[in-house]
Structure 1
Amino acid sequence: MTEAQLQTHEWRQRLLATHGRLRQRAPLVHCLTNQVTVNFVANVLLAAGASPAMTDHPDEVEGLAATADALLINLGTPSADSVAAMQRASQAANRSGTPWVLDPVGAAALPLRRDVSLELMTSRPAVIRGNASEIMSLTEAGAHGRGVDTQHESQDALTAAADLLAQAEGIAISGRVDRLLGRSTTDTGPLTISLAGGSAWQPRATGTGCALGALIAAYLAVADTPLDAMICAHAHAAAAAERAELTAHGPGSFAVIWLDALDSVDLTDFLSDRLALD
């Protein structure tokens, strides 16, 4: 696929139709996520048009993961119970064909999280989403981050992301320029899409990264491909962030205004101007 083909009317229209289907279908997204951000993530899904379910009891997750439209597993605050719930939910999703997202938060800095992520990956996530250090840590034991922060740029993780496509259908690397690896509806080989945009306020508001994983899960439920889901989720988050930045006075007001923008933002111009094929 050439750069010109990427920018065709057909491609843009398919992505815009995917955005429209999210609100029309209100997919049920089961989230096993960071305890610090659970309320914010639920509100982001509601604002975007999806329906959140935040059940995390190990004895409840299998049934919900099997019947939900998509599943998010985020390792932000792992405990013995939450890891057990993640294992059971990922296995149930794999058995039932529920598409799911793995967000290996902190895997580059904390060995437990890396080990749990590698185990969860045996249940075949549709998408693995993280910063460059987290993505690299899943294939390179020596890759490091500081806490949940990255020590690398998104392009540094492209080789690791390509390797991970053997274990997932799409890899989303967040950074100053997001890089998304997956397959289109017409190409059999993997594509790498670059998407610039967003706001400097996003990493200063707790939960924006967790929420991006949830948005990818929501779009997986309505998209033709995981690549389309990743593009729509990243574009939705970034376009809303740019709108919110116009009137925000700091990270607190930004978070609230971003929720409002997620509810109403139009992706037409953003999808026309920001996508690039690496």
Structure 2
Amino acid sequence: MAYSCAARLPCRETLATAHQRLNARNPLVHCLTNPVTAHFVANTLLAIGASPVMADHPDEAGEVARQADALLINLGTPSDSRLAAMQRATRAAREAERPWVLDPIGAGGLPRRRELALELMQHHPGVIRGNASEILGLAQQHSGGRGVDSAHTPREAHQAAHELLSRAGGVAISGASDQLFGMAEQAGQPRPLCMTIEGGSQWLPRVAGTGCALGAMVAAYAAVCTDLPTAMLAAHLHAAAAAERAEARAHGPGSFATAWLDALASVEPARLMERRVKIHWLDDYGRH
């Protein structure tokens, strides 16, 4: 499916349409992801109405990427074999014009991870999704991340995210409030914008795999949306709406994980815009 980096500003109707398309089309999402969280990522995709495939052998990763509707690359626990599979898959996704999402785990604090991510970015990801330190690291700014954890707030990575829009269709920074960067049309001309999402749950960062799963959700929505800003926003709003519903039923991180999967499968399209979303045009380097 052809998609655009620039779009009209997402609205309630376009988000509802994205949700309906996801359920109707059942997109196949190829995930080269962290084996620690692969099971949770697969269940997340099934819960939202997508189909996962996780072929990480180098000899078949490229062919599967061509057949899939979208691709997720998560640096999780890289090995030589997995890196070879990622390189072939991203090359194939670009050649087949399939959207792909890069989750550069650890690129903020681990130099080798940053090198791997920059190599893969030569195949122009549709969306880069990471924490503030990872986004700063990919922009080759000083990040100082601690392992896979962020040492910065999303606001501190605004300039870096804006710069990365020249190398990706969209950038999503995770944090207490998620910050999404992309291009949208105003008066017929593309302009950079930032979308801030409030809400979610305190339990999300306490469950291994929720961030990896969100990257897969972005890929799934990118497979059915005609533009990347709508895909990013729909995926994040879907995750946040489900998290709020799950938190009301959960007693801790264990029960929350199960409740979140249940809620992902039952969120109605109308609820996607109940989250507080602020949209700003960016002037330059992240200043509103």
TM-score norm. by structure 2 comes to: 0.91
Structure 1 range deviating more: 250-259 or 140-149: 140-149
- Runs of 4+ in structure 1 off by over 6 angstroms are none
Which residue of 2 is the match for residue 74 of structure 1? 74
Which residue of 2 is the match for residue 261 of structure 1? 263
Which residue of 2 is the match for residue 252 of structure 1? 254
Are residue 151 (structure 1) and residue 124 (structure 2) matched?
A: no
Q: For residue 208 of structure 1, report the CA deviation from its aligned partner.
A: 0.1
In structure 2, how many angstroms separate the alpha carbons of the residues matched to 1:98 and 1:82? 20
Q: Does the Cα contact within 8 Å between 1:239 and 1:267 map onto a contact in 2? A: no
Query: Cα deviation per residue 1:229-275 (whole Å; 9 max; x = unaligned)?
Result: 00000001111000000010111110011000000012424414411
Unaligned runs of 5+ in 2: 1-7, 281-288
Q: For residue 168 of structure 1, report the CA deviation from its aligned partner.
A: 0.4
TM-score norm. by structure 1 comes to: 0.94
Q: For residue 148 of structure 1, report the CA deviation from its aligned partner.
A: 1.5
In structure 1, how many angstroms separate the alpha carbons of the residues matched to 2:140 and 2:115? 12
Q: Does the Cα contact within 8 Å between 1:61 and 1:85 map onto a contact in 2? A: yes
Residue 258 of structure 2 aligns with an amino acid whose one-letter code is V
In structure 1, how many angstroms separate the alpha carbons of the residues matched to 2:185 and 2:253? 38
**Size of the alignment, in residue pairs?**
271
Q: Secondary structure at the match of 1:78?
A: coil
Q: Does the Cα contact within 8 Å between 2:114 and 2:137 map onto a contact in 1? A: yes
Q: For residue 224 of structure 1, report the CA deviation from its aligned partner.
A: 1.9
In structure 1, how many angstroms separate the alpha carbons of the residues matched to 2:29 and 2:236? 17
Structure with higher RCO (Cα < 8 A, 6+ apart): 2
Query: Cα deviation per residue 1:76-107 (whole Å; 9 max; x = unaligned)?
Result: 11001001110110011111111100000011
In structure 2, how many angstroms separate the alpha carbons of the residues matched to 1:264 and 1:184? 30
| CA RMSD across the alignment | 1.4
Residue 125 of structure 1 aligns with an amino acid whose one-letter code is P
Are residue 201 (structure 1) and residue 203 (structure 2) matched?
A: yes
Query: Cα deviation per residue 1:23-67 (whole Å; 9 max; x = unaligned)?
Result: 110000000000100000000000000000011000001111111
Query: Cα deviation per residue 1:177-221 (whole Å; 9 max; x = unaligned)?
Result: 111011236551111111111101000000000000000000000
Which residue of 2 is the match for residue 142 of structure 1? 142
